[in-house]
Every structure is written in structure tokens, then in C-alpha cells.
């Protein structure tokens, strides 16, 4: 168990971000055949659109808050990308940029550019945002008759949070 110095606490928070990312990729990889097209309700975004929205939000946030770590923000926010490998590549890039942005700002003792009282809050907001849509994605799959079994999904989500290194 780590003590409470700042560098160690930053590591814990960045580890939480990495776990959150692992959980999101686990969900993406668990989407059954045809599941990227699922919607919770008529007019709701597809599962694919929700995943690309998460990527877009992360990329815009880095551009606005720590532009030194920014990449190319996608032109479309809710892209209906049906190639899971391409979605995964997007999410890997944006997770890395968020991580670098927050770590860089904290270590430099620099504030974010637009919002937030502390750079860690940017990471916390994005973690919350990912989790918010995680639930929506599972609901959309359920509505389409493609529900993930709890026995299967539990270890891919809650198990990742609880695991001790
Ligand atoms: Ni959203």
C-alpha cells in the first residue's frame, strides 16, 4: 500500500485511467456480431456512434485543455464506424493523449487552459463520461437482443477495478 505522497497518488490516478480504458476496450471487444448497429431507442445513437463520441470528447478536451498533447480531432463527432479495429485504434490514441495531457500538466504544476480547478478533474470527468456511455452501450445491446451476460461482463469491468497488482 502506497503512502500519500503526490507522485504516488498521481500514479494511482493514472492507473485508474488505464483501468477505465481497459474496461472500455473490453466492452468494445465483447460487442457481439452486429452489435455496433444497436440502439437503445429509435433515434438514439448506435453503439458505434457512442464509442466514436467518446473518442471525440477526449480529443476535444485535450485540444482545449492541454493543446501541447493534442492530435487531430475527428471532423464528425458521432461517426458510425462499423470497423471495431478502427474504433479501438481511435480509443487507444485518445486515451494516451489524455494520459499524457494530465500527467504533463500535473507534473509541471500547470493549470488546464479552459475549465477545471485541477488537471486531475479533466481525467475524472472523462472517466465519468466513458462510464456514462458504457451503461448506455450495454442498454443498447440489451434492447437489440444482444445483452452481455453478467457472468461474462462482470470480470471484464468490475474485476478490472478490484484487481490488485
Ligand atoms: Ni456524451
With CA atoms as reference, report the closest residue to 80 among 38, 41, 130.
38
Instruction: Determine, yes or no, domain membership for 113.
Output: yes
Instruction: Determine, yes or no, domain membership for 115.
Output: yes
Q: How far is the CA of 16 from the centre of ligand 1 (A)?
A: 20
Pull the grid cell for residue 39. 440502439
Q: How far is the CA of 146 from the centre of ligand 1 (A)?
A: 22
Q: How far is the CA of 76 from the centre of ligand 1 (A)?
A: 14
Q: How far is the CA of 138 from the centre of ligand 1 (A)?
A: 15
What is the model's pLDDT at position 165? 83
Instruction: Determine, yes or no, domain membership for 94.
Output: yes
Q: How far is the CA of 163 from the centre of ligand 1 (A)?
A: 28
Dihedral (CA of 32, 46, 44, 64) sign:
positive
What is the model's pLDDT at position 152? 86
- Asked whether 87 and 78 are in contact (CB, 8 A), the reply is no
Instruction: Determine, yes or no, domain membership for 78.
Output: yes
Q: How far is the CA of 51 from the centre of ligand 1 (A)?
A: 10
Q: How far is the CA of 50 from the centre of ligand 1 (A)?
A: 8
Q: How far is the CA of 164 from the centre of ligand 1 (A)?
A: 30
Q: How far is the CA of 22 from the centre of ligand 1 (A)?
A: 19
- 3-state class (DSSP) for residue 30: helix
DSSP 8-state secondary structure symbol assigned to residue 114: S
- Asked whether 10 and 144 are in contact (CB, 8 A), the reply is no
pLDDT values of the chain reduced to their tens digit, one per residue, 165 residues: 556 688 899 999 999 999 999 999 999 999 999 999 999 999 999 999 999 999 999 999 999 999 999 999 999 999 999 999 999 999 999 999 999 999 999 999 999 999 999 999 999 999 999 999 999 999 999 999 999 988 888 899 999 999 998
Pull the grid cell for residue 91. 480509443
What is the model's pLDDT at position 151? 87
Q: How far is the CA of 5 from the centre of ligand 1 (A)?
A: 33
Classify residue 16 by burial, with Cβ atoms within 10 Å: 0-12, 13-18, 19+.
middle
What is the model's pLDDT at position 56? 98
Query: Can you say how many angstroms the Cα of residue 15 is from the centroid of all Cα atoms in its chain?
Result: 13
DSSP 8-state secondary structure symbol assigned to residue 66: -
Range of the domain at 140: 6-162
Classify residue 109 by burial, with Cβ atoms within 10 Å: 0-12, 13-18, 19+.
exposed
Dihedral (CA of 117, 119, 123, 126) sign:
positive
What is the model's pLDDT at position 35? 97
Q: How far is the CA of 104 from the centre of ligand 1 (A)?
A: 25
CATH number at residue 82: 1.20.120.450
pTM given for the model: 0.95
Dmax (CA) of the chain: 50
- 3-state class (DSSP) for residue 145: coil
Domain count, the chain: 1
Instruction: Determine, yes or no, domain membership for 112.
Output: yes
Amino acid at each position: 500500500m502506497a503512502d500519500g505522497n503526490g507522485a504516488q497518488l498521481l500514479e494511482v490516478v493514472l492507473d485508474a485511467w488505464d483501468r477505465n480504458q481497459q474496461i472500455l476496450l473490453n466492452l468494445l471487444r465483447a460487442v457481439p456480431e452486429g452489435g455496433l448497429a444497436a440502439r437503445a431507442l429509435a433515434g438514439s445513437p448506435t453503439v458505434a456512434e457512442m464509442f466514436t463520441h467518446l473518442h471525440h470528447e477526449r480529443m476535444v478536451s485535450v485540444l482545449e485543455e492541454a493543446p501541447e498533447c493534442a492530435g487531430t480531432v475527428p471532423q464528425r463527432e458521432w461517426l458510425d464506424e462499423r470497423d471495431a479495429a478502427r474504433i479501438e485504434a481511435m480509443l487507444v490514441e485518445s486515451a494516451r493523449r489524455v494520459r499524457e495531457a494530465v500527467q504533463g500538466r500535473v507534473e509541471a504544476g500547470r493549470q488546464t487552459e479552459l475549465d477545471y480547478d485541477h488537471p486531475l478533474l479533466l481525467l475524472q470527468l472523462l472517466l465519468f463520461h466513458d462510464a456514462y456511455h458504457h451503461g448506455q452501450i450495454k442498454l443498447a445491446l440489451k434492447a437489440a437482443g444482444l445483452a452481455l451476460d453478467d457472468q461474462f461482463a462482470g470480470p471484464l469491468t468490475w474485476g478490472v477495478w478490484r484487481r490488485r497488482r
